[in-house]
Amino acid sequence: MSKLRHQTLQVSCNDQGSPSCLQKDQQTAQVEQVLDCWRDTGCWWEGESEKLFYRLSLDNGAVVEIYRDMEAHTWVLYKVYD
């Protein structure tokens, strides 16, 4: 199971450009492992921007999906897995 969130967050990246630390509402979590990474063009015909998705394992035990909106240059917490 998973829960959709769609919440903006701050992301620090390592030298390779992958997320290494997430911060939201004064809470910080370190990325233990990048489980998957993919690009999604979305509904480009409706003007939706390209997104770069990451599925991450965090040091607090959570598994989350985040994405970077390539046009808006923002990071979004997309999904939290149970």
Flag whether pLDDT at 1 surpasses 80. no
pTM, rounded to two decimals: 0.91
User: How many whole angstroms from its chain centre is CA 54?
Assistant: 5
> pLDDT per residue over 32-59, tens digit each?
999 999 999 988 788 889 999 999 999 9
Question: If you average pLDDT over every residue of the chain, what do you get?
Answer: 94
String of DSSP letters for 6-21: EEEEEEEE-TTS-EEE
- At 21, list the tokens: 């630390």
Alpha-carbon dihedral sign for residues 59, 33, 29, 24? negative
What local confidence, expressed as pLDDT, does residue 2 receive? 78
What is the arithmetic mean of pLDDT over 23-38? Answer: 97
